[in-house]
């Protein structure tokens, strides 16, 4: 995927520095599911913060718990433990009735627009529904507002009279964005918004999302497995593994010098456009499969696949430690000097992105 846009200079610190109240604050979030043979710990103590106008990318393998975090944030899934605060208001245990007025402050864009848009409704009805439910626009002004929103996502007024099946995948995702932004949310959760699209249209949708976020200034939790997309869009990146955040850093720093062995392996596997760089870059190949969240390994959850694990990793779970430069890392061997300790082999630290971050 290739996405090109004019972007601000990279920011070293987080975008919410100086803001008294972040748009989203998640603390020790847990989501467990009962299952035959035990309990699935889909989310196991996740903490993250998103400032106003900031994009936080959440990346990791399938099954790491990324989407479950997003669903818990908007209360589509009920958290088992921890807390979720929206603009300083704890919404973790609010009733459905008490939560309804806050629904305009947050919105979720799903991965597959084909399954999230009602096929019986016209596009105009789909985009107008949040406006009507929250009584944000008088009935007489709904059509004009819908056409305005369609124009903002690059669609024409006549699209309002069509049904979802009459549009392409990229157009349907633009409808999802128009519906999400119709209520003017302060927080947008974008759950793999381009993964169900053809490669040829992914960049255009990603550019649209970036432009809307810049112009409207909403905070965004961008959930994805696409490293090129997250490098393009995010101010900071949090890396998840088996229900936990193992590393978080400003985007440029994470791509230039990842600290956690899992992050290093992820970035080493990302394709780069320069074949010469691809040949010279060290590839870190992990052994084994992602362990089951029904029976996570003791100690560090990653130790069963880690190329530098030591005895301590197998028995003691590493805390997510604060490091200089707005970084956090959960690894016994990572130190503030941005290198792993000499207890194991030293992995390569060259940038796996094949280019510079655009944020």
Identify the domain containing residue 321 by its residue range: 258-340
pLDDT of 290 over the 50 cut: yes
Q: Where are the beta strands (DSSP E) in the chain?
A: 24-35, 38-50, 55-59, 81-86, 89-90, 106-109, 187-191, 219-223, 236-241, 244-250, 321-323, 327-329, 334-335, 339-340
For residue 347, the model assigns a pLDDT of 40
For residue 344, the model assigns a pLDDT of 39
Our CA angle for 62, 63, 69, nearest 5°, is 105
The answer to the question of residue 274 being in a domain is yes
The answer to the question of residue 330 being in a domain is yes
For residue 152, the model assigns a pLDDT of 93
Between the CA of residue 170 and those of 20, 113, 197, 300, what are the distances in Å?
37, 9, 6, 40
The answer to the question of residue 185 being in a domain is no
306 and 312 in contact (C-beta within 8 Å)? no
330 and 244 in contact (C-beta within 8 Å)? yes
pLDDT of 4 over the 50 cut: no
What is the rounded average pLDDT for all residues in the chain? 86
The answer to the question of residue 79 being in a domain is no
For residue 336, the model assigns a pLDDT of 61
For residue 348, the model assigns a pLDDT of 37
55 and 4 in contact (C-beta within 8 Å)? no
| Structural tokens at position 291 | 């362990």
For residue 14, the model assigns a pLDDT of 42
The answer to the question of residue 186 being in a domain is no
User: Per-residue pLDDT tens for 303-355?
Assistant: 999 989 999 999 999 999 999 889 999 999 987 664 554 443 334 333 333 33
pLDDT of 130 over the 80 cut: yes
Q: Is the dihedral of CA 70, 43, 223, 168 positive or negative?
A: negative
% of the chain at pLDDT higher than 70: 85
Give the HSE-up count for residue 91: Cα atoms under 13 Å, Cβ half-sphere. 27
For residue 56, the model assigns a pLDDT of 98
The answer to the question of residue 307 being in a domain is yes
For residue 5, the model assigns a pLDDT of 38
Number of domains, the chain: 1
Q: What is the mean pLDDT of residues 70-96?
A: 96
């Amino acid at each position: 995927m290739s996405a090109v846009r004019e972007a601000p200079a990279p920011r070293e610190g987080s975008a919410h520095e100086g803001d008294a109240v972040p748009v989203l604050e998640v603390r020790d979030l847990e989501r467990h599911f009962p299952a035959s043979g035990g309990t699935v710990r889909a989310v196991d103590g996740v903490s993250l913060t998103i400032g106003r106008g900031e994009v936080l990318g959440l990346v990791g393998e399938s099954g790491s718990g990324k989407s479950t975090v997003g669903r818990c944030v908007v209360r589509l899934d009920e958290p088992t433990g921890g807390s979720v605060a929206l603009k300083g208001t704890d919404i973790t245990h609010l009733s459905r009735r008490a939560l309804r007025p806050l629904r305009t402050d947050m919105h979720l864009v799903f991965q597959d627009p084909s399954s999230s848009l009602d096929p019986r409704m016209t596009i105009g009805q789909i985009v107008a529904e949040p406006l009507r439910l929250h009584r944000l626009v008088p009935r007489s002004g709904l059509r004009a507002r819908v056409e305005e929103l369609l124009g903002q996502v690059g669609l024409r007024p006549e699209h309002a009279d069509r049904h979802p099946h009459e549009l392409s995948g990229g157009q349907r995702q633009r409808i999802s964005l128009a519906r999400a932004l119709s209520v003017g949310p302060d927080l947008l959760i974008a759950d793999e918004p381009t993964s169900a699209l053809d490669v040829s249209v992914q960049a255009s949708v990603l550019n649209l999302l970036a432009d809307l976020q810049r112009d409207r200034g909403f905070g965004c939790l961008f959930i994805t497995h696409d490293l090129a997309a997250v490098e393009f869009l995010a101010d900071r990146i949090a890396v998840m593994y088996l229900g936990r955040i193992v590393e978080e850093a400003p985007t440029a720093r994470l791509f230039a010098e990842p600290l956690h062995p899992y992050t290093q392996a992820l970035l080493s596997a990302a394709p780069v456009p320069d074949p010469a760089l691809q040949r010279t870059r060290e590839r870190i190949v992990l052994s084994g499969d992602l362990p089951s969240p029904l029976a996570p390994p003791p100690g560090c959850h990653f130790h069963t696949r880690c190329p530098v694990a030591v005895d301590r990793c197998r028995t003691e779970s590493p805390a997510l430690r604060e490091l200089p430069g707005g970084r956090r890392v959960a690894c016994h061997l990572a130190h503030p000097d941005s290198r792993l300790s000499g207890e194991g082999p030293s992995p390569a630290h060259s940038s796996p992105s094949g280019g510079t971050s655009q944020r």
